[in-house]
Amino acid sequence: MKNYLKNIVILAKKIFLLLIIFQFCRINFFIFNFEYFKEIKFFELIKIFFYGTKFDISAIVNFNFILIFLHIFPFLKKNNNFYKKFIFYLFFIVNFFLITVNLIDVEYFNFTNKRSDIDIFKLFFISNDLFFLIPQFIKDYFYILILIFIASFSLYFFHPKLKFDENKKNFFSKNDAFFSTLIFIFL
C-alpha cells in the first residue's frame, strides 16, 4: 500500500508540474499577444486564467490517459527499470508535443486570431513547401524555440521520479485495487 500511495503522489506531482508549465505557456501567450487583450480588466484576466487551467486539466487528463492508467493500475510491477523508463519517455514525449503546440500558438494566433486546432496539421501535411519554410520559421521565431526549450527542460529536470523500496515485493491489496478503480472512475 505504501508504494501504491507513493505512485499516486508522484502522478499528482507530474500533473501539478504540467499545470505550472501550461501556465507558463499561457502567460507567454498573453504577453506576446497583449495587443488583443489590453481591454481586459485584471479580474476578468484572473477568471480567464482560471478557466484556462480547467481546460488544461482536461487536456492533460485526455492526452496522458495511458500514463494515468499505468500509474493507478495496482497490478503492474512498477519497480523494474523498463517500466520506469517507459513511463518517463511516455510522459516526456506526449507532453513535449502538447507544450510545443501550445507555444506555437503564441505566434499562430497573430495570423489566424484563433488558437491552433486540427487545421494546423492540415497545413503541415498538405503544404509541399513546408520543409523549405522551416528554416525561415526558425529564423523568424527563434524565441519560440527558446520558450519550448525552457519548458521542455523544466519538464525533464523537475520530472518526479519513481522510487520504490527494491526489497519489498510489489504486492497490492484489495484496498489498492478498490482505490485505483475509484480514481479511474472519477477521471
pLDDT above 70 for 63: yes
Q: Could you state, in order of their start, the residue ranges of all structural domains in the chain?
A: 2-186
Separation of alpha carbons 74 and 175, rounded Å: 10
Q: pTM of the prediction?
A: 0.78
Residue 159 neighbours by CB distance under 10 Å: 17
Question: Picking from 1-15, 52-66, 86-100, which range would have the lowest pLDDT averaged per residue?
Answer: 1-15
The SS3 call for residue 77 is: coil
